[in-house]
Amino acid sequence: MDVPGPRNKTICREGSGDDGDKISSLPNNLIEHILTFLPLREAAKTSVLSTAWRRTWVNRPSVVFDDQFWKPYPVEVAANKYVGSNGVYPITIEKLMLNVFTVLCHHRGPLKEFSLSIPQLSTFPAYVDQILLSLYDKFIESLFIWINEYKVPRCLFSFRQLKKLRLYACAFTSSQISFEEFRMLTSLDLRWIKFPNAARVSFIIRCPLLLTFTLIACDTANGTYLDILSEAPSLSYFHCVGNFSSVCVKYAPHLKDVIVHQTARLVDPSKSKDEPTNFMKLCGGCPALEQLCIALELFRDLATQNLITQPGQIFMLMMLRELRLGDVCLSCPRDVWCSMLLIILAPNLRNLIITTKAMATQYIDLNLISAIQRVCGLNKHKASKLLKVEINQLQGVRTEMCCIQWLLAASPELHKMEIKFSPNSLPADQVQTLRDLNGFQRASSKAQIII
C-alpha cells in the first residue's frame, strides 16, 4: 500500500478572510476521532488533505487488515500473474505482506486493537507468526485473527495484557489448552476452532476478569472427548455450541445468560455412574442464572437419576426467569420428564420456550403408558410464576398433550400459551388437538391459548 503525501496544501482554502484552512485547523483529537471511522486504506489517503493530516493516520489506536484492505487489489498466490475480471492486476502475497509490515513500521503511539483477516494467508503461516512477534511490544488490548486452519502459536499466550481475544477458524495443536495467563482478559470469542486428534482434549478457562465467553462450532475428530472447564468468577455470559462431551462451570456467581447446544452426542464409557450430571456441572456453580438456552440432548442423563419425585435433591434455579429448550421430543417419555424437572427447579420462571422434534411411532407406543403415569405424578409440583409459554413444531401426540395439560394445570399466573404446529401435521389433527386443548383444566382464568 503506497502512502500518499501532501500534494495541495490549499485544497480547502476556498474561503477568504478569517475562514482559513478549516481542515488544517481541526484539533488533533478530532482528526484522530474521524480517522477511526475510516478503513485503513482510506485513512492513509487523508495524508493529501493538509499538513495537519499528514501521516496522522499512523497514530490510530486500531489497525484492521480485512477484506476492505486487500480486496481492491486481488491477491495472487501463484507465481504467474493474471488480469482479474475487473481489469485490476492482482498483487502477490509478498507485496501484500510488505504493505502490512509497512503499516506496522510506520505506526506510532499505542496500538489498542489489531485485526488480521486475510484468507490467503492460510498457506503462509510463517507470515502470521512474524506479524504476531512484531506486535509483542505494542501492548495490544484487543486481538482478532481469522485465518483458516492457522495453528495458534505459543507466543500468543504471551500477550498477557489482552482484554479481548477473538480467534476464528484457527486450530490448536495441544490436547491441554489453558487460558490461565490472560489475567486481564474480559472477552473470549472462539469460533470454528479445530482441536487436535487425541483421545481427550481439555479446554480450561481461568480468567478472573472474564465477562463473556463464546465457543461456537468447536470441531473434534471422531472419538475425541472435549471437556470444557470454566472458572471465571466475573463471567456473565456463556455461549457454547459444538461437539463436546461435557461442560463444567465452576464458581460463576455472576453468570446470568447461558446458551449451550451439543451438536453430537458423545457417550463417554469412562464416566462413572456416581459422577454429577452434565446439567449439574454446567449450572451447579451459577446461582445468579437468569436466562438458560439449552438443547436437551446434553442433559438427558437427568432421567437416569431419581430426581422427579424429589427434585429438592439438587440445587434450585431460584433466579431463572427464561428457559429455552431446543430439540425436545415431547413424544419421548424421557424428554417429557426431563423438561418438567427443569421447570420445577425454577420456581420463579416467567417465560418458557420449547422447540420440539419428532420421534418414531414405535418408540412412543412402547413407553406411552409409563410416560402418562409419571407425568400425572408431578401434579403436586407447580410452575407458580410462569406467565408465557411458547411451543414450536408441535406434533399433537398424546405425550405432548400430557405435558401441555400439566403446564395449564400447574401455572396459576399463566397469561398466554402460544402453540405452533409442525409443517408435517395434518389439518384434521390440528383441529382435534385444538379441541383437546380447550377441554383441559386451567389454573389461571387469564390463560389464553393461541394457535
Helices (H), strands (E): how many in the chain?
A: 10, 20
pLDDT in tens, 325-368: 988 887 777 777 778 878 888 889 999 999 988 765 444 444 44
Higher pLDDT, 80 or 119: 119
Q: How far apart are CA 435 and CA 261, in angstroms?
A: 35
* Cα-based distances in Å from 446 to 22, 218, 413: 65, 45, 8
pLDDT at 190: 95
At residue 316, the pLDDT reads 79
pLDDT 10s digits, 382-417: 677 899 999 998 887 777 887 888 888 889 999 999
Distance CA 180, CA 99 (A): 34
The domain ranges of the chain are 290-301+314-451
% the chain with pLDDT above 90: 23
- Measure the CA–CA gap between 331 and 339, rounded to whole angstroms: 12
Is the separation of the CB atoms in 289 and 283 below 8 Å?
A: yes
Average pLDDT (415-433) is: 86
User: What cell was used for 243?
Assistant: 461437539
Is residue 11 pLDDT above 70, yes or no?
Answer: no
Residues 432, 434, 438, 441, Cα dihedral to 10°: 90
308 band by pLDDT with thresholds 50, 70 and 90:
very low
Q: Return the pLDDT at 257.
A: 96
Q: Is the dihedral of CA 268, 273, 275, 276 positive or negative?
A: positive
Task: Report the pLDDT averaged over residues 277-288.
Answer: 81
Amino acid at 116: L
Spatial CA neighbour of 230 closest among 252, 261, 209, 254:
252
- Side chain identity, residue 175: S
What integer is the mean pLDDT of 45-74?
69
Residue type, 206: R
- Tell me which H or E stretch contains 340: helix 333-344
Q: Which is more confidently placed, 325 or 62? A: 325
CA distance 188 to 147: 17
Least-confidence region, from 14-23, 248-257, 378-387, 429-438: 14-23
Best CA proximity match to 311, nearest among 287, 285, 347, 282: 347
Mean pLDDT of the chain: 77
Between 270 and 364, whose confidence is greater? 270
Nearby residues of 17 by Cβ (< 8 Å), 6 or more positions away: none
Residues 24/51, Cβ–Cβ less than 8 Å: yes
pLDDT of residue 21: 62
Residue pLDDT, tens place only, 242-261:
888 788 888 889 999 999 88
pTM above 0.85, yes or no: no
Does residue 24 contact residue 74 with C-beta atoms inside 8 Å? no
Report the run of H or E that residue 418 belongs to, with start and end: strand 416-421
Q: For the segment 83-134, what is each residue's pLDDT rounded down to a tens digit?
A: 444 455 566 778 878 878 888 887 777 788 899 988 778 888 998 999 998 8
Contacts of 394 (CB under 8 A, 6+ apart): 330, 356, 400, 419, 420, 421, 422, 425, 433
Q: How much is the pLDDT for 293?
A: 93
Per-residue model confidence as pLDDT tens digits over 149-200: 899 998 898 898 999 999 999 999 888 899 988 999 999 999 999 888 888 8
Low-confidence winner among 26-35, 228-237, 300-309 (lowest mean pLDDT): 300-309
The cell for 239 is 455461549
